[in-house]
Amino acid sequence: MGKAILKVLTAEEARGSDVDPSRCLIWRDSAEVPRDWSMARRWAGVLCNDRIDEKESAEAAIVLDGIETPGVIAPGDVVRLVEGGPLVSVLYRRGSNSNTLFATERCNSFCVMCSQPPRDVDDRWLVEEMIDTIPLIDCDEVQLGISGGEPTLLGDDLLVVLHQARRHLPETGLHILSNGRRFADSDFARCVWAVRHPNVTWGIPVYSDCREIHDYVVQAKGAWDETLEGLYNLAKFNANIEVRVVVQRGNVERLGELAYFIFRNLTFVKHIAFMGLEPMGFARANYDRIWIDPVDCGEYLKDAAFFLANRGMAVSLYNFPLCTLPGELWPLAQKSISDWKNTYLAECAVCDVRDRCCGFFASIDERWTSRGIRPISASGAFGVARKAGATDEMA
């Protein structure tokens, strides 16, 4: 079945762009034909929310009109069309804060809180898709994610993807989520380095300083050892590494020890992110094993985060609404939730710090909601600042 990966552009932008015309799907605001309209440029086709007159669209190889959900696709997006199919998939969205390429559904770990449970399928077509999509992404895109499953399971296909990104998007940083285990193979780490992509960050989870706890969380014996070996191999080649720690019942009590472990043994790490749970996938089935109310994590988070930050390591908190955190940690909290799965609760309407707060995952429900959720008033915010040692002049 025919498949096409195309760039949606207005005619004006398409004329001025160096995107291959045969990969351009021209965006039309309305069914009315523009004055300088011509398909002679061999564009791939036309896309319009309204219905287009058939006679006039006859020259176009592909016509997408009468879109049922206007607003989903816009100029700048990269879309996948399947011949004869009714769906258009958006692979890249101009203006999104979280564009991510999907590498594979396979994974060699089975984390108890995994939000994207793995499937053992032959999905090498995803590699072709990444290779075809990358040249169509805006070259001024600041950051592009690569995720899965486990991207390193691509083996040398990952090198091809990195090379393609380096070639077509030299200014775009790549942020690749991986468990790092395949980098225990030093040769693979060397090959990745040898592609010389100028700006790659590896986001790699380490859940505990304790082998047994980490292996339990990822449900794979030996994973902790492999991940650490992988981290050292990456460090050997000066890779940018971000350690990610999903905070949950099994590892929260040793967060301080983990921070000490990272400081002493992983000094090359560029950034550490402590992350709240996402209630999707395996997490939902393992609620009893993993759930801990964020307000009960505050002291552990303070211990770990300040231990590292006070020693010059960059620390962030992801997925923790501000009202669930002690005020001292607010400067470290980031707006971390991808726009397409981000939501706020009714209480947030009157919250003064809503704009700085990451809010919630759209998949949240009653049992995944902290008992500490409450709107913060401006005076409340100042109240917290006072507690942290502000002077009277600030009142």
Partner 1 sequence: MKWRKRLLQVLRWSVMTVGGVSTAALGFSSAAEQDTGVGALRDSDHDRVLLPNTLNATADDRYAQHRSHSSHSSHRSHRSSGSRGGIRRTVPAPVPQPQESPQPGSPAPSAPSTVAPQSPRGRPQPTPQDLSMMVVRVQAALMRRGFYVGDIDGILGPVTRAGLKAFQKSEGLAQTGRMDIDTLTRLGISIP
Which residues of the chain form contacts with partner 1 (CB under 8 A)? 2-6, 17-20, 22-23, 42, 44, 61, 81, 83, 128, 131-132, 135, 139, 156, 159-160, 163-164, 167-168, 170, 187, 190-191, 194-196
Nearer to partner 1, 167 or 311 (CB): 167
Nearer to partner 1, 81 or 301 (CB): 81
The pairing of strands 3-10 and 78-82 is antiparallel
The pairing of strands 271-275 and 240-246 is parallel
Q: Tokens at residue 86, please?
A: 């009714």
**In the complex, minimum distance from the CB of residue 339 to partner 1, in angstroms, rounded to a whole number:** 27
CA distance 269 to 238: 10
**In the complex, minimum distance from the CB of residue 58 to partner 1, in angstroms, rounded to a whole number:** 16
- Taking the CA of residue 35 as centre, how many other CA atoms within 13 Å lie in the half-sphere pointing to its CB? 0
Q: Would you tell me the crossing angle of helices 223-236 and 211-218 to the nearest 10 degrees?
A: 100
**In the complex, minimum distance from the CB of residue 1 to partner 1, in angstroms, rounded to a whole number:** 9
Nearer to partner 1, 143 or 164 (CB): 164
**In the complex, minimum distance from the CB of residue 62 to partner 1, in angstroms, rounded to a whole number:** 9
Q: Tokens at residue 64, please?
A: 């997408």
Among residues 122, 91, 127, the alpha carbon closest in space to that of 106 is found at: 122
Nearer to partner 1, 138 or 209 (CB): 138
**In the complex, minimum distance from the CB of residue 197 to partner 1, in angstroms, rounded to a whole number:** 10
Nearer to partner 1, 66 or 170 (CB): 170
CA distance 76 to 94: 5
Alpha helices in the chain (DSSP H): 11-16, 125-133, 156-168, 186-194, 211-218, 223-236, 255-265, 282-285, 287-290, 298-309, 378-387
CA distance 244 to 179: 10
Nearer to partner 1, 27 or 330 (CB): 27
The strand order across the sheet containing 143-147 reads 100-102, 143-147, 173-177, 200-205, 240-246, 271-275, 314-318
**In the complex, minimum distance from the CB of residue 144 to partner 1, in angstroms, rounded to a whole number:** 16
CA distance 362 to 106: 25
Nearer to partner 1, 137 or 206 (CB): 137
Nearer to partner 1, 17 or 199 (CB): 17
58 burial via Cβ count (<10 Å: 0-12, 13-18, 19+): exposed
From residue 7, alpha-carbon distances to 89, 94, 129, 282 in Å are 12, 11, 13, 35
**In the complex, minimum distance from the CB of residue 167 to partner 1, in angstroms, rounded to a whole number:** 5
**In the complex, minimum distance from the CB of residue 305 to partner 1, in angstroms, rounded to a whole number:** 38
CA distance 285 to 294: 19
Nearer to partner 1, 25 or 266 (CB): 25
From residue 90, alpha-carbon distances to 80, 102, 114, 141, 283 in Å are 6, 12, 24, 16, 26
**In the complex, minimum distance from the CB of residue 190 to partner 1, in angstroms, rounded to a whole number:** 7
Nearer to partner 1, 5 or 275 (CB): 5
**In the complex, minimum distance from the CB of residue 317 to partner 1, in angstroms, rounded to a whole number:** 37
The string of DSSP codes covering 217-243 is HHT-TTHHHHHHHHHHHHHHTT-EEEE
Return phi, psi of residue 190, to 5°: -65, -45
